[in-house]
Structure 1
Amino acid sequence: MKLTIRHTVVSSLALVAVLAVSACNASANADGGSPAGTGAGGNQTSSAGGQTNSQTPTVDPVTWKTTPDDKATNVAVDTRVTASADKGTLEKASLSYVSKKGNTVKVDGTLEGGTWTAGDLLEPGVKYTLALEAKTTDGTTTESTRTFRTDNLTLDQQVYVAVSPRDGGTVGIGMPVIVRFDLPVVDKANFEKNMHVTTTPAQAGSWYWLSSKEAHWRPATYWKPGTKVKVDAQLNGVPAGGGRWGEMSRTSEFTIGRSVIAKVDLKSHQMKVVINGKVAKTIPVTGGQPGFITRSGVKVIMDKVTNITMRAETIGLKKGDVGYYSDTPVKWALRVTNSGEFLHSAPWSVKDQGVRNVSHGCTGMSDANAEWVYKNMIIGDVVETTGTNRPMTMGNGYADWNLSAAKWAAGSAL
């Protein structure tokens, strides 16, 4: 009986010892930060059911960075819209606005180095929508749409832009690029930085500001025949100074035609038309009489018209003035100055053509010769006049070639 009692006591003590050891092990594991039953993979296993509970890694949300901010108002039109994403990669961006006519207009842009940049500045008084798409660090796609509204401008705060020659045209070797504005440009340098001329083949040239409302670009010498010219006046939203901004951007692509130069000598009363370096025709002409002297210098064909009426009032004459003449119909005419000089048909002075100067400043010739000139010369062709002591002046037509290349370049705002 004693042996039985002792055996029972020993067995009980052994069981208590095992439980104590197990308890110590559980406590050690807990203190060490590894739950009971943790294997090499670090997954937690419950002692009761043997099930595994995985912890999902946390992914930071994308943070959008845009200029301007979302829901911004009165945004300046010279703002350049940009977008990027922190804690993610920007994949797509699209910008659009609803015009005042209700049309949706998309704005092009470029995505480079994780940043999207709009290709144009902003329109006044409209609502823009910027749609963005990015991928988080785990590859999940996330999207965001942001909006903003631009500052409203009056027409007096917007400078209208016009570019010539027209897109797709062909002009002569003397034709300058012309950009005109309806309101004065105070910050000419800022505008000029955004007015670009590209030529193929390349010809170096420069801008020259005739006034705060007109700028011309020409190469150092006459254009090379066949040159392709691209004008890109990116002036929409560009500050013009004086509380004004460019109203729009303009582009034009045109081609330079063959070389045509009319060489007018008012001492010999002859005009030689030189095409591609060779004299194509010699024409007897008459120039301006005393008091109406034709200007000497380099002129450029500005316009071509048929069947017009020439009036004395257009050159400042009224009835009773010396030299006044009645309205005179003219069949063929090519304008070369703003002040009223033309190359034109003058059948009334054929007997004087090639002999003396009897006109009111124009270069006159017979109907047949004027028709030939009209059909063989285009806008931009050159007229070089010599033989008088009255010079051409800047601004009187396309008088650009009367300045040396150095003086021309000095007229740039940059």
Structure 2
Amino acid sequence: MSHSSRTRRIAGCTLVVIALGAGVTACSSDDGNPLSATPYDAAEHISFNGPTKAGKKADPDKPLEITSEGSEGRITDVTAVDAAGRHVSGELSADGGRWHSTSPLAADAHYTVRVSTEDEDGAPGRRVVTFDTGKPRTQKRLAVTFGPEAGKYGVGQPITADLSQPVKDKAQRAIVERGLKVDSNIVVEGSWHWVDDKKLHYRPKEYWPANATLQVRSNLDGIKISDRLWGGTAKPLKITTGDKIVAIADGASHHMTVFKNDKEINTLPITMGKPGFETRNGVKVVIGKEYFVRMRGTTVGIADGTSESYDLPVYYATRVTWSGEYVHAAPWSVGDQGSANVSHGCVGMNTSNASWFYETVRPGDIVQVVNSYGKTMEPFGNGFGDWNVEWANWRKGSALVTGSPEGPDETERVRLQPQTV
């Protein structure tokens, strides 16, 4: 085929139309070449539905649509990405005649769309178009705050996302959830779980890998969530995990066994909650360490002057619930450690062992209580009991899982108080 005949064939073979529902400014084309050294121009011209008056921008509420007109060519691929690197998902018809977006465009963004085509002889074509979207009609934005703070944590540390506005509708929750990204340099299966209308937690199916790097970000900025709510900004988060530290506190044997990277490194005599003050069973996550805490029975409703009242200085206190459950030094109960449960709910040990434990663990490490007569640790609201939710039920808390409920019930928040000894 001569150059002139190819030119004639191409000029009439493909018309690409991008329908955005509004005029677009600053449109341009680029005959870049990802497929061939001499790609042909895939369209004689590009047109947009709606006004093309200078200063007009595309409506981000409208889907992006690209069609190929003419029988001699078809679309083979479309890539649409904004200046922040966010890709627009889309579907291409089986005959290559139409591509349309399936994820929303961001407001107030600059997009580059690359359309690849193929003529009847299999020769590749290319067309690149840029456009801007307008600002949302409302200024109500959904800000996201990720937690915990940047740093190194244990393998049990969940990721949290606090929203500035409540999101109740499941379809809107799905938009939010798709925009919240958690990446690990070691691949794991994980999921977000809606704790309530304004909070999500993310955890993997099993504990995080040891010595991993986790990066959390939001792609919601400028994305429409509802008619009155658009995605806002969020500061990205980077944390790392340390060694895998898991401590198993056994209420029957009255000992705690500590494992590092699945190898036992210490066994410590302990005492746990006595009848009426039983230590909670289940998996708990270390949420803080306090060298000194003054613990008073009045914080858990024990009146001064009664047989159960106490007011004690406590050292090497490793916190596992907001309501005041710790692993700490309890020199007053050394005679019962390893043989009986006599505390008001905490895990007590001698001062030397408590100091060793305090120096060994960090926030995010695991303390698992077994064989206590206490209730199971709450999943939310009193620290991180996330790991007490079976994986199948955890996944049901995601808005992206078929058959999941509209969202879990609101969880009562527990006030931060020193509590048990």
One-letter amino acid of the structure 1 residue matched with residue 326 of structure 2: F
One-letter amino acid of the structure 2 residue matched with residue 374 of structure 1: Y
Q: In 2, are the aligned partners of 1:259 and 1:276 still within 8 Å (CA)?
A: yes
CA RMSD of aligned residues (A): 4.3
Alignment of 1:288 onto 2:270: no
Identify the match of residue 300 of structure 1 among 258, 263, 285: 285
Q: In 2, are the aligned partners of 1:300 and 1:380 still within 8 Å (CA)?
A: yes
Deviation string 1:333-388 (CA, Å, 9 cap, x unpaired) is: 22112332111122222222222222221111222211111111111111111111
Secondary structure at the aligned position of 1:349 is classed as helix
Cα distance change, pair 246–287 in 1 and its aligned pair in 2 (3 A): farther
TM-score normalized with structure 2 length: 0.62
Secondary structure at the aligned position of 2:336 is classed as coil
What is the correspondence of 1:14-413 to structure 2 with a 5 Å cutoff? 71=55, 121=106, 151=137, 153=139, 157-167=140-150, 169-186=151-168, 187-239=172-224, 241=226, 243-319=228-304, 323-326=308-311, 328-390=312-374, 391-395=376-380, 396-413=382-399
Task: Provide the rounded CA distance (Å) in 2 between the counterparts of 1:217 and 1:267.
Answer: 33
One-letter amino acid of the structure 2 residue matched with residue 211 of structure 1: D
How far apart are residue 172 of structure 1 and its match?
Answer: 1.2
One-letter amino acid of the structure 2 residue matched with residue 346 of structure 1: A
Cα distance change, pair 242–293 in 1 and its aligned pair in 2 (3 A): farther
Equivalent residues, number = 316
- Of residues 314-323 and 222-231 in structure 1, the stretch that sits farther from structure 2 once superposed is 314-323
One-letter amino acid of the structure 1 residue matched with residue 296 of structure 2: R
How far apart are residue 293 of structure 1 and its match?
Answer: 0.8
Cα distance change, pair 80–301 in 1 and its aligned pair in 2 (3 A): farther
- Of residues 349-358 and 257-266 in structure 1, the stretch that sits farther from structure 2 once superposed is 349-358
Task: Provide the rounded CA distance (Å) in 2 between the counterparts of 1:200 and 1:321.
Answer: 55
Instruction: Give 5+ residue unaligned stretches, structure 2.
Output: 1-44, 65-81, 89-103, 113-129, 401-421
Task: Provide the rounded CA distance (Å) in 2 between the counterparts of 1:410 and 1:152.
Answer: 32
Task: Provide the rounded CA distance (Å) in 2 between the counterparts of 1:220 and 1:310.
Answer: 36
Task: Provide the rounded CA distance (Å) in 1 between the counterparts of 2:361 and 2:51.
Answer: 53
Task: Provide the rounded CA distance (Å) in 1 between the counterparts of 2:220 and 2:213.
Answer: 22
Cα distance change, pair 129–121 in 1 and its aligned pair in 2 (3 A): closer
Q: In 2, are the aligned partners of 1:205 and 1:218 still within 8 Å (CA)?
A: yes
The residue number in structure 1 matching 2:73 is none
Cα distance change, pair 316–65 in 1 and its aligned pair in 2 (3 A): farther
Q: In 2, are the aligned partners of 1:207 and 1:218 still within 8 Å (CA)?
A: yes
Q: Which protein has the larger Cα radius of gyration, Structure 1 or Structure 2?
A: 1
Q: In 2, are the aligned partners of 1:67 and 1:80 still within 8 Å (CA)?
A: no
Cα distance change, pair 362–238 in 1 and its aligned pair in 2 (3 A): farther
Task: Provide the rounded CA distance (Å) in 2 between the counterparts of 1:188 and 1:121.
Answer: 17
How far apart are residue 271 of structure 1 and its match?
Answer: 0.6
How far apart are residue 219 of structure 1 and its match?
Answer: 1.5
Task: Provide the rounded CA distance (Å) in 2 between the counterparts of 1:299 and 1:213.
Answer: 23
How far apart are residue 322 of structure 1 and its match?
Answer: 6.4
Deviation string 1:216-271 (CA, Å, 9 cap, x unpaired) is: 12121122212222222223344555944443223222222111110100111111
% same residue: 35
Cα distance change, pair 183–129 in 1 and its aligned pair in 2 (3 A): closer
TM-score normalized with structure 1 length: 0.63
Q: In 2, are the aligned partners of 1:191 and 1:238 still within 8 Å (CA)?
A: no
Cα distance change, pair 146–272 in 1 and its aligned pair in 2 (3 A): closer
